[in-house]
């Protein structure tokens, strides 16, 4: 299974030669591509070397055990063999994960779209809460969050908010957040203390670059109109808001947060491009078998993926039966205890196809 790792040292030397090549150094795009590949191969080489060295130590300790007569030394060697066996298994599993087919979107920035579902104003308020949660998590990862579009209501919530999150491997960390997020709590407006259940949908779309997807301008209808705020309040007195309709698919994107029509158009095109790419990828994804779907996750928004129960301080992710009584910390953006188990689960499911 690991035969392909045997020539990593040769590959590493080849890439180091390219990094010193003046023709590569003079081209920023080529240099960036080679440097990225060099970093990837370096990590593979380091992981494979650790595996081989630990495996060799294990073999040597087993040979020592056969030749050792002193009982006290035998116990020490047995203890060492137990620890080395554990390390070999861990390193082997890490290498198996490296062998998994790469999601081409893992390195990308994302468009995060959060929308109020059932629950009226309470759902809109939870849109705001979830956006703050993801923003705080992004801050902890040193990712940049830029609001592209929002539809606020007068009490501090949002019917919808769309943001671009940029940084290192954003999609790989947040791609399993897509779906229906359910909240159970007593709304601030509830006078009798009754618990309400509301729902919010989250969509995580990989940012589409222009080179990945060509959109024919003739297939777009662009309308301009005057921005308005909550309750119809006018935001500005110029026609700066933009609505873009992709005629073949019927997709519609509206942006009005900026005062500049040009900026709103650019942001709307970012959203449109990513939604179209996601639609194309979903169509391809739908052609994959149901078994494969279950292993990599469908991101279907109709699935209730998570419940936030405020009266009990509990969060439950229904896909992996994970329950944490740390809701306050989670809402403050401390999401690693949620995200890492999800990544591990889906990696384990994908590993089954290699066995």
At residue 94 the predicted structure's pLDDT band, cuts being 50, 70 and 90, is confident
Residues 194 and 293 in one domain: yes
User: Is the residue at 67 inside a domain?
Assistant: yes
> What is the reported pLDDT for 334?
96
Residues 125 and 27 in one domain: no
> What is the reported pLDDT for 296?
32
| Highest mean pLDDT pick, 60-69, 103-112, 322-331 | 322-331
User: Is the residue at 105 inside a domain?
Assistant: no
Assigned token pair, 161: 């908010």
Q: Report how many domains make up the chain.
A: 3
- Domain of 40, in residue numbers: 3-99
Residues 158 and 42 in one domain: no
Mean pLDDT of 253-265: 80
Does 302 score more than 60 pLDDT?
no
Contact 70, 139 (CB under 8 A): no
At residue 282 the predicted structure's pLDDT band, cuts being 50, 70 and 90, is confident
Does 351 score more than 80 pLDDT?
no
The domain that contains 259 carries what CATH number? Answer: 3.30.160.20
At residue 69 the predicted structure's pLDDT band, cuts being 50, 70 and 90, is confident
Q: Would the pTM of this model clear 0.85, i.e. be above it? A: no
User: Is the residue at 104 inside a domain?
Assistant: no
State the pairing for strand pair 241-246/220-225: antiparallel
Does 93 score more than 70 pLDDT?
yes
Residues 76 and 221 in one domain: no
Mean pLDDT of 82-97: 88
Mean pLDDT of 50-74: 90
Mean pLDDT of 281-295: 52
Mean pLDDT of 299-303: 45
Residues 247 and 142 in one domain: no
Residues 72 and 27 in one domain: yes
Residues 306 and 348 in one domain: yes
Residues 194 and 324 in one domain: yes
Residues 58 and 137 in one domain: no
User: Is the residue at 191 inside a domain?
Assistant: yes
Q: By mean pLDDT, which of 74-88, 121-135, 143-157, 280-294 is the weakest? A: 280-294
At which of 240, 258, 283 does a domain end?
283
User: Is the residue at 52 inside a domain?
Assistant: yes
At which of 99, 134, 159 does a domain end?
99
pLDDT in tens, 126-143: 999 999 999 999 999 999
The domain that contains 121 carries what CATH number? Answer: 3.30.70.1660
At which of 99, 122, 154 does a domain end?
99
> What is the reported pLDDT for 174?
95
Spatial neighbors of 139 by CB under 8 A, at least 6 apart, are 145, 333
Does 298 score more than 70 pLDDT?
no
- State the helix-helix crossing angle for 71-99 and 336-351, rounded to 10 degrees: 90
pLDDT in tens, 312-327: 999 999 999 999 999 9
Mean pLDDT of 326-342: 95
Residues 296 and 251 in one domain: no
Residues 24 and 71 in one domain: yes
At residue 333 the predicted structure's pLDDT band, cuts being 50, 70 and 90, is very high
Residues 198 and 318 in one domain: yes
Assigned token pair, 350: 């994908």
Does 230 score more than 60 pLDDT?
no
């Amino acid at each position: 299974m690991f035969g392909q790792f045997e020539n990593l040292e040769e590959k590493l030397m080849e890439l180091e030669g390219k990094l010193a090549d003046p023709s590569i150094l003079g081209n920023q795009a080529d240099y960036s591509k080679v440097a990225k590949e060099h970093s990837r191969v370096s990590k593979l080489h380091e992981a494979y070397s650790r595996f081989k060295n630990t495996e060799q130590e294990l073999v040597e300790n087993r040979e020592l055990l056969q030749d050792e007569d002193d009982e006290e030394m035998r116990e020490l060697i047995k203890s060492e063999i137990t620890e080395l066996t554990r390390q070999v298994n861990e390193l082997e599993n890490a290498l198996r994960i490296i062998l998994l087919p790469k999601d081409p979107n893992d390195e990308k920035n994302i468009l995060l779209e959060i929308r109020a579902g059932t629950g009226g104003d309470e759902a809109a308020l939870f849109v705001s809460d979830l956006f703050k949660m993801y923003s705080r998590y992004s801050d902890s990862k040193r990712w940049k969050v830029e609001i592209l579009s929002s539809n606020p209501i007068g009490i501090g919530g949002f019917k919808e908010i769309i943001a671009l999150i940029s940084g290192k491997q954003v999609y790989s960390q947040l791609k399993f957040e897509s779906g229906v997020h359910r909240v159970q709590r007593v709304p601030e407006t509830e006078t009798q203390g009754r618990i309400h259940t509301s729902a919010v949908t989250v969509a995580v779309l990989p940012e589409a670059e222009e080179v990945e997807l060509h959109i024919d301008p003739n297939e777009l209808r662009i309308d301009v109109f005057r921005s308005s705020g909550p309750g119809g309040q006018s935001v500005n007195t110029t026609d700066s808001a933009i609505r873009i309709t992709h005629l073949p698919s019927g997709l519609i994107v509206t942006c009005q947060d900026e005062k500049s029509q040009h900026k709103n158009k650019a942001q709307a095109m970012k959203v449109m491009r990513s939604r179209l790419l996601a639609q194309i990828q979903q169509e391809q994804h739908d052609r994959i078998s149901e078994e494969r779907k279950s292993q990599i996750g469908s991101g279907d928004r109709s699935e209730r993926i998570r419940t936030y129960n405020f009266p009990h301080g509990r969060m439950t992710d229904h896909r992996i039966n994970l329950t944490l009584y740390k809701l306050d910390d989670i809402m403050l953006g401390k999401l690693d205890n949620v995200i890492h188990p999800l990544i591990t689960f889906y990696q384990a499911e994908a590993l089954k196809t290699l066995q």
